[in-house]
């Protein structure tokens, strides 16, 4: 039969199933195929903390959302246009998020009485008319996959497990995706089990062909490539980009990188990734605990390495004392906090921005550190390099605040020309800097206020440092009141004096009276909301902070330009408090802590009110 | 890898104790056992033949942890309990350095217990000196994890209800490859143990009994007093039968069919029943049995090297993985980086 082909400018797909159904992999592959086609992409994985929650239950549902378009997009999309539900739990957990009239593909094999009861369906939603507002495509995914693989010498279990590839094949047909990269991927993934590789490929093709032949699917869609800047691209998650940024910082500084880390969700992937890159001189140690992890990194920094530790909020809390030591020692240290919903264990796989106060203030004594935050998955690369620049130039701990949303989410990344990355080379102290050939470990650079980095092994510069207050210049132990006052103020001045670029404001027509100020991963939804408002003729300005400490010099002036300043955050108003106290601006805090990113639509609604009443 | 001018201008190796004294005024209480350990260390370090700049001392918090300030080497006075972790980062990233940890019973066994056991388990190339005075001195006299049960201190006015750690048993349980004990006042013994510790590849754990004359004076007096020491101290010497007493009238035996070791009058056993000390016994049960010999009144306290065995060194294992990965590198670092960034599925937009 001839299928109709329809052009779309954007599509949001959500794959949902049991945590054992391979939805993350399916989503990843679809994303990769889509990237090959040159669409702009943004993805949002969402999965339970349990590795295998009880099968078929609501807590066990794992999903992967991918938004792709023929223009540049900023978020993974608010409301899916199509849901692939591998079981009743996946349908029930995700139905509420769909737009009216969305397509739903369900695996009918899983809609048994038992599975329906398990999630509280009294009647089969596929038959009781409750899905009449959607376009339902019932597909017997499991049994069709098993039938397609009858000729393969694999177990029934292996055959059933290939149903996600059948689904992927079907969706690849439906959205005209190129399949070569998936076929290559399957060959690689199952290289040790060729029969399983062949079966998965067969399942994928069966799904693709099913779309081609069945009468249930009459429309096939195309989304043209987006107009993106020329260059070579890849898709990248925030955690991968962050790890690459750390590797790049090592290469560009010429220093060995030393990562001390303790496994913690959602930061562990940074440890996994960096442990693969030993050829760049990257040492990774899985420490006995979070405190040891930062101690190892600091010990390595003392020895002349770029010391890095990666963790999430609970880990930062444990590292707090050592970070203060690093403040006193004035050594470079990079602390990566991939924030998750807290307090305590909270919701480890869900996102939040509630560690800003912890990063800014969570230490004993006057212990300021630099704090910066990436705005998107790909931006994690640049943010890591920038964090390393600050740490190395100013000899200070730097806290980088990522979060679960950008850590696991992905987007296309235009690969940088390596030779244009910043030069991060540092000079170690090599000779005495004081009178009579004495070495003064706390004699500062007048520009940066940084002290010399004199690494053990350097003859003539033997010196002792420690957590006790040090006398200016000599670094000797000092309890002198005036000296302590001076040192506290000088350490603060060193952080305050870090050179950061001015804040840029996006206000295309220059007539906005309302400014939306954000930081970190809210960039996408805020940006999408602002665009939507402007398209409706409602002017609004957007500015996004990368530097949380010190803040850009022009921030106060920017804030005062607008009648209203709105600060949306995935916390209860932490940046808003800082802005209010620092700049005496009556900022409007808009907050949500649901473990999920803002939707562009809710921000648009909220901002519409503010703009209309400004 | 910062080599920091190691070849150029390295200090000459004919150093004396004076070369290792820093310009800082030593501020322990007069009469503290730490002075003796410091003096022993300063006069021992020149024998190591390692240039001053290649030696680093890392300490935690407590009286003993002031140690690095008084040595003219590289040094870091860090935070409570964390010295083994910080020193691990330094040692692993800088194999050219001789890294020492100075810690106390509270620092190493209470707040920092986890880092100590993991450093020992990994066999990081650290020399860990635990000054054990069985008391918290810097905080002015609370009981420590090595204080005896019933100890009356400021925080335990009617006696401590905690059972103490046996630091050597703990270290052996943590797979330490070198375990020794010595006493602050016995400079010759102290230096011989330090020397052997310094030569050991991997973690060397040395417990130094140290007198706190303010808060726990005389805790080890029976091991020092000429009237009692011969009957209280068992001096371990590699390859020698373990006997002690003024005239060797006591010995250590391994009764058949029993666990552990036992002290017997030498006259009552045949010479071949006396245990001949062997530091290199692979099975840790032997050194563990030695560590259990002391009675609660310190009678039968062995000093010397309990265990000195070869085990893969963490630093070397880490370095070997780095080196073998680096061997495969054929391009410049920038080219390798560009290849890494462009790995996986990429696409080009014209």
Average pLDDT estimate for A404-410: 96
Contacts with B168 (C-beta within 8 Å, 6 or more apart), sequence order: B179, B181, B205, B207, B287, B291, B306
Res B161 pLDDT > 90 = yes
Chain A 297-326, residues with CB within 8 Å of chain B CB atoms:
297-305, 307, 321-322, 325
Domain presence at residue A208:
yes
User: CA B38, CA B43: separation in Å to the nearest integer?
Assistant: 9
Task: Return the pLDDT at B10.
Answer: 52
Same domain, A354 and A478: no
Closest CA to B254 of B245, B242, B246: B242
Nearest CA in chain B to A323: B79
Average pLDDT estimate for A372-380: 98
Domain presence at residue A419:
no
User: Given A181, A225, A300, which is nearest B89 (Cβ)?
Assistant: A300
Res B9 pLDDT > 50 = no
Which pLDDT band holds residue B251 (cuts at 50, 70, 90)? Answer: very high
Tokens of A590: 């808009």
Q: How far A240 CA sits from the closest chain B CA (Å)?
A: 10
Of chain B, the end-to-end C-alpha distance in Å amounts to: 40
Q: Which residues sit opposite A259 in a β-bridge?
A: A284, A308
Backbone angles phi, psi at A588, to 5 degrees: -90, 120
Partners of B4 on chain A (C-beta within 8 Å) are 304, 428, 430, 455-458
Domain presence at residue A229:
no
User: CA B34, CA B19: separation in Å to the nearest integer?
Assistant: 19
Which pLDDT band holds residue B1 (cuts at 50, 70, 90)? Answer: very low
Task: Return the pLDDT at A461.
Answer: 97
Interface probe, candidates B90, B203, B331, B339, chain A, greatest A C-beta count within 10 A: B90
Mean pLDDT is lowest, of A211-225, A265-279, A466-480, for A211-225
User: CA B71, CA A464: separation in Å to the nearest integer?
Assistant: 9
Q: What is the residue range of A568's domain?
A: 505-613
Same domain, A161 and A55: yes
Domain presence at residue A421:
no
Query: Residue A268's domain is classified under what CATH number?
Result: 3.40.50.970
Res A280 pLDDT > 50 = yes
Domain presence at residue A24:
yes
Partners of A326 on chain B (C-beta within 8 Å) are none
Looking at the complex, does the CB of residue A202 fall below 8 Å from at least one CB of chain B? no
Say which DSSP state B123 is in.
T
User: Given B4, B61, B340, which is nearest A458 (Cβ)?
Assistant: B4
User: pLDDT per residue over B176-199, tens digit each?
Assistant: 999 999 999 999 999 999 999 999
User: CA A21, CA A63: separation in Å to the nearest integer?
Assistant: 10
User: pLDDT per residue over B42-69, tens digit each?
Assistant: 999 999 999 999 999 999 999 999 999 9
Choose the final residue of a domain: A477, A499, A521: A499
Task: Return the pLDDT at A50.
Answer: 76
What distances in angstroms separate CA B129 from CA A117, A312, B64, B88, B309, one per listed residue? Answer: 64, 34, 10, 15, 18
User: CA B277, CA B306: separation in Å to the nearest integer?
Assistant: 8
Average pLDDT, rounded, for chain A: 96
In this prediction the ipTM stands at: 0.95
Task: Return the pLDDT at A120.
Answer: 95
Res A49 pLDDT > 80 = no
Nearest CA in chain A to B78: A466
Interface probe, candidates A464, A470, A478, chain B, greatest B C-beta count within 10 A: A464
Res B260 pLDDT > 50 = yes
Same domain, A495 and A511: no
Domain boundaries, chain B: 17-240+278-322, 241-276
Nearest CA in chain A to B67: A464
Task: Return the pLDDT at B256.
Answer: 87
Same domain, A142 and A264: no
Mean pLDDT is lowest, of A414-423, A569-578, B2-11, for B2-11
Average pLDDT estimate for A568-578: 98
CB contact at 8 A, A463 and A437: no
Q: How far A247 CA sits from the closest chain B CA (Å)?
A: 8
Same domain, A295 and A372: yes
Contacts with A111 (C-beta within 8 Å, 6 or more apart), sequence order: A87, A88, A124, A126
Backbone angles phi, psi at A545, to 5 degrees: -85, 125
- Return the percentage of chain B with pLDDT > 90, whole number: 93
Choose the final residue of a domain: A156, A191, A223: A223
Average pLDDT estimate for A269-284: 98
Same domain, A205 and A60: yes
Task: Return the pLDDT at A330.
Answer: 98
Nearest CA in chain A to B350: A230
Closest CA to A407 of A500, A526, A271, A548: A271
User: Given B58, B89, B345, which is nearest A258 (Cβ)?
Assistant: B89
Say which DSSP state A226 is in.
P
Average pLDDT estimate for A513-537: 97
Helix (H) or strand (E) holding A64: strand A61-69
- Return the percentage of chain A with pLDDT > 90, whole number: 95
Helix (H) or strand (E) holding B63: none
Same domain, A432 and A314: no
Domain presence at residue A228:
no
Looking at the complex, does the CB of residue A419 fall below 8 Å from at least one CB of chain B? yes
Same domain, A241 and A138: no
User: CA A498, CA A585: separation in Å to the nearest integer?
Assistant: 24
Res A29 pLDDT > 60 = yes
Contacts with B317 (C-beta within 8 Å, 6 or more apart), sequence order: none
Nearest CA in chain B to A34: B347
User: CA A168, CA A166: separation in Å to the nearest integer?
Assistant: 5
User: pLDDT per residue over A126-178, tens digit each?
Assistant: 999 999 999 999 999 999 999 999 999 999 999 999 999 999 999 999 999 99
Which pLDDT band holds residue B14 (cuts at 50, 70, 90)? Answer: confident
May I ask the CATH class of domain B17-240+278-322?
alpha beta
Q: How many domains does chain A have?
A: 4
Looking at the complex, does the CB of residue A251 fall below 8 Å from at least one CB of chain B? yes
Same domain, A205 and A288: no
User: pLDDT per residue over A339-364, tens digit each?
Assistant: 999 999 999 999 999 999 999 999 99
User: pLDDT per residue over B79-125, tens digit each?
Assistant: 999 999 999 999 999 999 999 999 999 999 999 999 999 999 999 99
Backbone angles phi, psi at B55, to 5 degrees: -110, 135
Domain presence at residue A364:
yes
Same domain, A440 and A475: yes
Partners of A256 on chain B (C-beta within 8 Å) are 1, 93
Task: Return the pLDDT at B12.
Answer: 53
Choose the final residue of a domain: A499, A534, A552: A499
User: Given A277, A307, A456, which is nearest B56 (Cβ)?
Assistant: A456
């Amino acid at each position: 039969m001839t299928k109709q082909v329809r052009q779309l400018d954007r599509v949001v797909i959500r794959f949902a199933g049991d945590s054992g159904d391979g939805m993350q992999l399916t989503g990843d592959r679809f994303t990769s195929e889509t990237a090959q086609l040159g669409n702009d992409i943004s993805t949002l994985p969402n999965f339970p903390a349990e590795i295998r929650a009880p099968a078929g239950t609501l807590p066990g549902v794992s999903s992967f959302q991918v938004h792709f378009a023929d223009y540049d997009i900023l978020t993974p999309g608010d409301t899916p246009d199509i849901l692939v539900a591998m079981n009743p739990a996946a349908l029930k957990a995700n139905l509420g998020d769909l737009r009216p009239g969305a397509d739903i593909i369900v695996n009918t094999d899983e809609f048994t009485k038992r599975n329906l009861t398990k999630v509280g369906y009294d009647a089969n939603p596929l038959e009781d008319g409750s899905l009449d507002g959607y376009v339902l495509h019932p597909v017997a995914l499991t049994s069709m996959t098993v039938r397609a693989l009858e000729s393969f010498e694999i177990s029934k279990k292996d055959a059933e497990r290939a149903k996600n590839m059948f689904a992927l094949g079907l969706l690849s047909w439906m959205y005209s995706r190129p399949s070569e990269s998936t076929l290559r991927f399957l060959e690689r993934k199952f290289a040790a089990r060729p029969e399983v590789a062949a079966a998965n490929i067969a399942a994928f093709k069966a799904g693709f062909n099913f779309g081609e032949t069945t009468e249930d699917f009459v429309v096939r869609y195309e989304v043209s490539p987006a107009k993106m800047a020329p260059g070579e691209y890849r898709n990248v998650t925030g955690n991968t980009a962050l790890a690459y940024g750390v590797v790049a910082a090592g290469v560009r500084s010429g220093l060995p990188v030393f990562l001390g880390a303790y496994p913690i969700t959602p930061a562990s992937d940074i440890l996994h990734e960096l442990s693969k890159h030993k050829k760049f001189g990257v040492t990774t140690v899985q420490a006995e605990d979070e405190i040891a992890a930062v101690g190892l990194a600091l010990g390595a920094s003392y020895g002349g390495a770029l010391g890095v530790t990666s963790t999430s909020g609970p880990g930062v809390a444990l590292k707090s004392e050592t970070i203060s030591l690093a403040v006193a020692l004035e050594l470079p240290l990079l602390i990566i906090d991939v924030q998750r919903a807290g307090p305590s264990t909270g919701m480890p796989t869900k996102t939040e921005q509630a560690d800003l106060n912890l990063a800014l203030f969570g230490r004993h004594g006057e212990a300021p550190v630099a704090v910066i935050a990436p705005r998107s998955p790909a931006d994690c690369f640049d943010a890591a390099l920038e964090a390393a620049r600050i740490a190395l130039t100013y000899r200070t701990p730097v806290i980088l605040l990522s979060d679960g949303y950008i850590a696991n989410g992905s987007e296309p990344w235009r690969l940088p020309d390596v030779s244009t990355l910043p030069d991060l080379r540092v000079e170690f102290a090599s000779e005495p800097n004081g009178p009579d050939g004495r070495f003064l470990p706390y004699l500062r650079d007048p520009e940066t206020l940084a002290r010399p980095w004199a690494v053990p092994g350097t003859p003539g510069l033997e010196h002792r440092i420690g957590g006790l207050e040090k006398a200016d210049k000599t670094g000797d132990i000092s309890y002198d009141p005036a000296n302590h006052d001076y040192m506290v103020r000088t350490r603060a001045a060193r952080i305050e004096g870090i050179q950061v670029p001015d804040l840029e404001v996006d206000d295309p027509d220059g007539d906005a009276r309302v400014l939306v100020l954000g930081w970190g991963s809210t960039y996408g939804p805020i940006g999408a909301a602002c665009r939507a408002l402007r398209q409706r003729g409602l002017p609004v300005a957007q500015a996004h902070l990368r530097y949380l400490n010190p803040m850009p010099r022009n921030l106060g002036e920017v804030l005062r330009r607008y009648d209203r300043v709105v600060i949306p955050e995935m916390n209860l108003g932490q940046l808003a408090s800082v802005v209010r106290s620092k700049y005496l601006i009556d900022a409007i805090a808009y907050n949500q802590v649901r473990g999920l990113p803002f939707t562009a639509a809710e921000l648009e609604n909220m901002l519409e009110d503010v703009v209309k009443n400004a | 890898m910062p080599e920091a001018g190691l070849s150029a201008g390295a200090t000459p190796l004919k150093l004396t104790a004076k070369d290792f004294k820093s310009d800082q005024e030593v501020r322990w209480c007069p009469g503290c056992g730490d002075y003796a350990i410091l003096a022993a260390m300063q006069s021992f370090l020149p024998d190591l033949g390692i240039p001053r700049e290649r030696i680093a001392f890392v300490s935690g918090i407590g009286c003993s942890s002031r140690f690095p300030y008084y040595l003219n080497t590289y040094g870091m006075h860090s935070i409570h309990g964390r010295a083994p972790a910080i020193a691990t980062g330094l040692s692993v990233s800088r194999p050219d350095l001789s890294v020492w940890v100075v810690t106390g019973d509270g620092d190493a066994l209470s707040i920092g217990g986890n880092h100590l056991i993991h450093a020992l388990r990994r066999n990081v190339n650290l020399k860990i000196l635990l000054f054990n005075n069985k008391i918290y001195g810097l905080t002015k006299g609370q009981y420590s994890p090595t204080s005896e049960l019933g100890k009356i201190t400021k925080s335990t006015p009617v006696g401590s209800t905690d059972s103490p750690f046996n630091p050597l048993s703990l270290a052996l349980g943590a797979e330490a490859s070198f375990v020794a004990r010595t006493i602050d006042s016995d400079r010759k013994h102290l230096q011989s143990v330090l020397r052997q510790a310094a030569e050991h590849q991997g973690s060397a754990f040395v417990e130094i009994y140290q007198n706190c004359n303010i808060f726990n004076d005389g805790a080890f007096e029976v091991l020092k007093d000429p009237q009692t020491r011969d009957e209280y101290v068992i001096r371990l010497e590699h390859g020698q039968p373990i006997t002690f007493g003024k005239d060797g009238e006591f010995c250590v035996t391994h009764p058949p069919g029993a666990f552990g070791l036992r002290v017997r009058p030498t006259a009552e056993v045949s010479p071949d029943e006396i245990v001949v000390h062997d530091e290199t016994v692979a099975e840790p049960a032997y050194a563990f049995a030695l560590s259990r010999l002391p009675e609660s009144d310190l009678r039968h306290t062995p000093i010397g090297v309990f265990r000195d065995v070869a085990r893969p060194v963490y630093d070397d294992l880490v370095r070997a993985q780095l080196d073998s990965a680096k061997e495969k590198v054929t391009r410049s670092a920038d080219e390798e980086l560009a290849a890494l960034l462009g790995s996986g599925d990429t696409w080009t937009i014209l």
